[in-house]
Amino acid sequence: MLELKHDLKLAKTRDEKARMNFVSGLRSYVLNDMANGMRTVWDAQLEPDFRRARRRGPKDGADVHRAIKPNEYFKFYSSLRVTAQDLVWQSVFPPLDRQRDELKRKAGELQRRTRLGSLTLQPGFEVPRTVSAIDVHMMAGNYDGEYDTDDVTAGALYDNGLAVFSFGLMGQNLDDIGQSIAGFIRRKYPDFRPRQILDLGCTIGHNTGAWKDHYPQAEVHGIDVAAPCLRYGHARAQAQGRAVHFHQMNAEKLDFPDASFDVVFSSMFLHEVPRKGIEKVFAEVHRVLKPGGLMLHMELPPNSQLSPYDAFYLDWDSFYNNEPFYKPFRDLKPEVLCRRAGFKPQNYVQFVIPSIGWYGEGVWSEAVNRQDEVDSDKTGRLTDGVRWYCFGAWK
C-alpha cells in the first residue's frame, strides 16, 4: 500500500497499516493473477464451447458475460473482487473515524493560512441524484455525504481509499493520470501554451494539480458537485503548494462564460455520468472552450475498440460495483460524441499514453512521437503495464 506524503494524511496504527497492505495485495492478486486465470478458462473451455453451441464466436461483451456467468471461476473471481472493494473502504474507516475532527481542523487551518487558489461552494447547491442517490463503487456516503459542517470526510475517504485501491499504480501523489497526460500534451504540442485550464469532476483535485505542475503560468480550475471533496481537495492542494481554484458546479451547466478555457480536461469522470448528462457536458465544454482550445477526457476505452472478452472484462463494474453508467458510457462512440457537440471530425484526437510512473520517462516520452493503439490487455486497467486512454478534440 502506498503511503500518502501530504499534511492531511491519516496517522495509522501498525495493525491498520497491515490491514490496508493486505487489502492492496488482495486486489492486486484478484486483478492480475485471478484475472489471468479467468481468461485462461475462457480461452481454453468456455469460448470453444460457445462456438460449438452457436456456430459463431461471441459478438460483444454481453455475449461473453452471459456465457461466463454460470462458471465457478467467474463467480469466485467476482465474489472476491466485490469483497476486496468493500474492504478498501472498510480499511480506511477506523483511522478516519478517529481523526475526523483533527482532519477538519487541519483542513480549515490550511485554507486560512495559505492563500493559494480558492474554494467556492454554493449554499443550497443541488447535488444531482446520479451522485446523491448511490454509493458509487461501493464508497459509503459517496462523494457528497456530509456528517458535520465544513466536513471533509468523503475527500479523505477517497484519497486514502484510492491509495489502497490502486496498489501503488497511481504514484506517490495518486496523480499518475494527470502527470502522464499533462506532460504528454506539453511535449507533443510545445507551441500550445494554455492560460486557463479546467478539470471536470475533479473530486479531490489529485489529477488537477498535475496541470499546474506542467503549466505553472496557467490558471487552473477544478469543478465538482461534492462539497466535502472540494474542501479536502483545496486544503490538499494548499498543503502541496499548488494554486488551484475549486468550485462547486455541475458540469452539465457550467457557470463560466463562453470561450473562457484553453484546455478542458476530465479523468475517470464521464463513466459516472448518465447518457443524457454526457451530451450536456459535451455541449458545455464546446461552449466554454476558446477557439483553438483542447478538450481531453481520460477514460476507459470504448467497447467498440475492444475484443468481446475485454469489453466484458471492463464492463464488470457496471454489474457488480455500483457503477450504473459505466457500460452505457463505454457503449458510446467517442468520435460521435465530439461531432454531435460541434467539434469538427478532422479535429478529433485519441491517445494511448503509457503511465509515466510504471514505464518511466524513456518509454513515456517515446510515445509522444507515436500513435499507440488501444491494447486490450493494458489500456485503462489497473494492472501490469497500465496505459491511459484519452480522447477529445481541438475547437
- Name which of 135, 26, 43, 121 is nearest 81 in CA terms: 26
Between 269 and 309, CB nearer to ligand SAM: 269
Take residue 99 and report the three cell numbers written for it.
Answer: 481523526
The Cβ of residue 184 has, within 10 Å, a number of other Cβ atoms equal to 22
Does residue 296 contact residue 60 with C-beta atoms inside 8 Å? no
Q: Which of residues 150-209 bind ligand SAM (CB under 6 A)?
A: 177, 201-203, 207
Q: Does 229 bind ligand SAM (CB under 6 A)?
A: yes
Name the DSSP letter for residue 32. I
Name the DSSP letter for residue 253. B
Dihedrals phi, psi of 313, to nearest 5 degrees: -60, -45
Name the DSSP letter for residue 195. S
Choose one: 108-116, 268-276, 308-316, 331-339; the region binding ligand SAM (CB under 6 A).
268-276
Take residue 129 and report the three cell numbers written for it.
Answer: 441524484
SS (HEC) of 307-350: CHHHHHHHHHHHHHCCCCCHHHHHCCCHHHHHHHCCCCHHHEEE
Q: Which one among 165, 215, 261, 269 touches ligand SAM, defined by CB under 6 A?
A: 269
Q: Which of residues 309-368 bind ligand SAM (CB under 6 A)?
A: none
Q: Does 84 bind ligand SAM (CB under 6 A)?
A: no
Q: Which one among 151, 176, 252, 299 touches ligand SAM, defined by CB under 6 A?
A: 252
Does residue 199 contact residue 221 with C-beta atoms inside 8 Å? yes
Report how far residue 348's alpha carbon sits from residue 391's, in angstroms, rounded to the nearest whole number: 8
Q: In the bound complex, what is the minimum distance in angstroms from residue 163's beta carbon to ligand SAM?
A: 12
Between 63 and 176, CB nearer to ligand SAM: 176
Choose one: 66-74, 89-97, 225-233, 288-296; the region binding ligand SAM (CB under 6 A).
225-233
Q: Which amino acid, 291? A: P
Could you tell me the end-to-end alpha-carbon distance of the chain, in angstroms, rounded to an integer?
A: 41
Q: Does 268 bind ligand SAM (CB under 6 A)?
A: yes
Q: In the bound complex, what is the minimum distance in angstroms from residue 205's beta carbon to ligand SAM?
A: 8
Q: Does 299 bind ligand SAM (CB under 6 A)?
A: no
Kindly tell me the burial class for residue 201, based on how many C-beta atoms sit within 10 Å of its own C-beta (0-12, 13-18, 19 or more): buried
Q: Could you identify the residue written with the cell 487541519?
A: 106
Residue nearest to ligand SAM (CB): 201
Choose one: 18-26, 185-193, 262-270, 352-360; the region binding ligand SAM (CB under 6 A).
262-270
Q: Does 210 bind ligand SAM (CB under 6 A)?
A: no
Total number of residues shown for the chain: 395
Between 42 and 282, CB nearer to ligand SAM: 282
Q: Does 143 bind ligand SAM (CB under 6 A)?
A: yes
Report how far residue 220's alpha carbon sits from residue 228's, in angstroms, rounded to the nearest whole number: 20
Q: In the bound complex, what is the minimum distance in angstroms from residue 239's beta carbon to ligand SAM?
A: 18
Q: In the bound complex, what is the minimum distance in angstroms from residue 345's beta carbon to ligand SAM?
A: 26
Q: Which one among 153, 250, 303, 355 touches ligand SAM, defined by CB under 6 A?
A: 250
Report how far residue 345's alpha carbon sits from residue 85's, in angstroms, rounded to the nearest whole number: 39
Name the DSSP letter for residue 46. I
Q: Could you identify the residue written with the cell 491509495?
A: 163
Choose one: 219-227, 319-327, 329-337, 365-373; the region binding ligand SAM (CB under 6 A).
219-227
Q: In the bound complex, what is the minimum distance in angstroms from residue 106's beta carbon to ligand SAM?
A: 21
Count, residues near ligand SAM per rule CB under 6 A: 22
Q: Which amino acid, 132? A: S
Is the CA virtual torsion 209, 215, 217, 220 positive or negative?
Answer: negative
Choose one: 72-80, 97-105, 265-273, 357-365; the region binding ligand SAM (CB under 6 A).
265-273
Choose one: 8-16, 269-277, 319-327, 378-386; the region binding ligand SAM (CB under 6 A).
269-277
Q: Does 273 bind ligand SAM (CB under 6 A)?
A: yes
Q: Which of residues 93-132 bind ligand SAM (CB under 6 A)?
A: 128, 131
Binding site for ligand SAM (CB under 6 A): 128, 131, 143, 177, 201-203, 207, 223-226, 229, 250-252, 267-269, 272-273, 277
